[in-house]
Amino acid sequence: MAVLDKDPREEVIQAWYMDDSDEDQRLPHHLEPKQYVSLQQLDELGVLSWRLDADIYETDEELKKIRHDRNYSYMDFCEVCPEKLPNYEEKIKNFYEEHLHTDEEIRYCVAGSGYFDVRDLNDKWIRIWVKKGAMIVLPAGIYHRFTLDSDNYIKAMRLFVGDPVWTPHNRPNDHLPARSISKVLWRRKLVFKPSMLQLETCLLELPEFEIESRGIKTCYYLYGLDACPFSGIVWLVMLCYASAYAKTHVFLFGVFHVVSKIM
Ligand SMILES: [Fe+2]
C-alpha cells in the first residue's frame, strides 16, 4: 500500500484554533475538541512556511535561495528568554498586543519555540507553533501577536527586504493601505506570490499610496482576474487608461505586474 509523504514542515510547524480563556498566554490554548489548521489553510491566509536545517543556517543553500528569491537582504537574530531580556514578563505581554505591520514579518526559528497567533478570515485566532527549523512569513496587514510557549526560549533569525522597519501598528489600524490590500486578497482567496510580495513592497514605498489607496485596491482587484483568459486584455486596457489619464501609480503597478509576469 502506498504511503503518502508527510509534509516535512508539519514536524516543526503546527497550527490550531484557539480558545478564548484568560489563562497564561504561554499555554497551548486548544479548543475542546482540538481543531487543527492545515499548512494549506495558512498558505491561503498568506502565511508562508518552510522547514530548514537550523544546524547549518550559516551555509544553508536553501535559505540562501529563499533570501535571494524574496530579496531578504537584511538579517539579524533575536533571542527571547528571561535571562537575556530585561523586564521579561512585561516585554512578553507587549509582544502579545494584537498588531500589524506594513511589511512582512519574517522569522526563522533556529532554536527553541514560540507561538505566532494570526487572525483568520472570520477574525478568529489561529495559533501557529514554530519550533527549531521552522521559517514563517506573515504577510503585511495581517493582525497577529507573538508569545513564547512554556519553555520560555526562542532564538529567531529576523529577515527583511532592505532597511528593517519593526513598527507595530496596534489594532485597530484598518485605514493603512497594507490592511486594505490584505482584505482584498483574502476576500478573493489569493495566495501571495513572491513576485507579488516584492511588488507590494515597492508600491507601499510610493508616497501616493499613503494618500490614496483606492487605485491600488482596484489594481489588486484586477490582479484577481489573472486566472481568467481575458486578463491580458484587461491589463492592456488598464495600462492605456493609466497612461492617458496620468494615473502614475496605476501605470506603475501595471508595469511592475507585466515585468513580474515575464520574469
Ligand atoms: Fe509583529
Mean pLDDT rounded to a whole number for the chain: 80
Which CATH code, of 2.60.120.10, 3.40.50.1820, 3.40.50.1000, 3.40.50.800, is assigned to 8-170? 2.60.120.10
Model pLDDT, residue 110: 98
Q: Rounded to the nearest whole angstrom, what is the distance from the C-alpha of residue 105 to the centroid of ligand 1?
A: 6
Q: Rounded to the nearest whole angstrom, what is the distance from the C-alpha of residue 142 to the centroid of ligand 1?
A: 9
Model pLDDT, residue 245: 58
B/e letters for 159-189, b = 16+ CB within 10 Å, e = fewer, are bbbeeeeeebbeeebeebbbbbbbebbbeee
Q: Is the dihedral of CA 176, 76, 120, 65 positive or negative?
A: positive
Q: Rounded to the nearest whole angstrom, what is the distance from the C-alpha of residue 140 to the centroid of ligand 1?
A: 10
Binding site: residue ranges? 99, 101, 105, 144
DSSP annotation of 228: S
Model pLDDT, residue 248: 60
Query: Of 196, 129, 140, nearest to 168 (Cα)?
Result: 140
Rg of the chain taking only CA atoms, in angstroms: 20
Q: Tell me the three state secondary structure of residue 162.
A: coil
Is residue 210 over pLDDT 60? no
Of 129 and 222, which is predicted with more confidence? 129
Q: Rounded to the nearest whole angstrom, what is the distance from the C-alpha of residue 58 to the centroid of ligand 1?
A: 25
Give the bridge partners for 145, in sequence order: 117
Model pLDDT, residue 153: 96
Q: What is the mean pLDDT of residues 199-214?
A: 46
Q: Rounded to the nearest whole angstrom, what is the distance from the C-alpha of residue 239 to the centroid of ligand 1?
A: 35
Model pLDDT, residue 4: 63
Q: Rounded to the nearest whole angstrom, what is the distance from the C-alpha of residue 95 to the centroid of ligand 1?
A: 8
Q: Rounded to the nearest whole angstrom, what is the distance from the C-alpha of residue 168 to the centroid of ligand 1?
A: 6
252 Cβ contact partners less than 8 Å away, ≥ 6 residues apart = 203, 206
Model pLDDT, residue 99: 94
Is residue 67 over pLDDT 50? yes
Q: Residue 99, CB half-sphere, CA atoms under 13 Å: how many?
A: 18
Q: Rounded to the nearest whole angstrom, what is the distance from the C-alpha of residue 99 to the centroid of ligand 1?
A: 6
pLDDT digits (tens, 9 = 90+) for 150-204: 999 999 999 999 999 888 999 988 877 777 666 655 554 544 443 454 455 545 5
Distance in angstroms (rounded) separating the CA atoms of residues 110 and 112: 7
pLDDT digits (tens, 9 = 90+) for 250-259: 666 666 655 5
Report residues near ion ligand 1: CB below 5 Å. Answer: 105
Distance in angstroms (rounded) separating the CA atoms of residues 182 and 80: 29
Of 68 and 222, which is predicted with more confidence? 68
Q: Rounded to the nearest whole angstrom, what is the distance from the C-alpha of residue 162 to the centroid of ligand 1?
A: 17
Binding site for Ni(2+): residue ranges? 99, 101, 105, 144
Is residue 207 over pLDDT 70? no
Model pLDDT, residue 240: 67
Q: Residue 236, CB half-sphere, CA atoms under 13 Å: how many?
A: 4
Residue ranges of the chain assigned to CATH 2.60.120.10: 8-170
Binding site for Fe(2+): residue ranges? 99, 101, 105, 144
Q: Residue 208, CB half-sphere, CA atoms under 13 Å: how many?
A: 12
Q: Rounded to the nearest whole angstrom, what is the distance from the C-alpha of residue 97 to the centroid of ligand 1?
A: 9
Query: Of 100, 104, 102, 105, nearest to 205 (Cα)?
Result: 102
Distance in angstroms (rounded) separating the CA atoms of residues 204 and 41: 26
Q: Rounded to the nearest whole angstrom, what is the distance from the C-alpha of residue 143 to the centroid of ligand 1?
A: 8
Q: Residue 168, CB half-sphere, CA atoms under 13 Å: how many?
A: 12
pLDDT digits (tens, 9 = 90+) for 75-126: 999 999 999 888 888 888 888 999 999 899 999 999 999 999 999 988 999 9
Backbone φ and ψ for 117, nearest 5 degrees, come out as: -100, 135
Model pLDDT, residue 243: 59
249 falls in which pLDDT band (50, 70, 90)? low
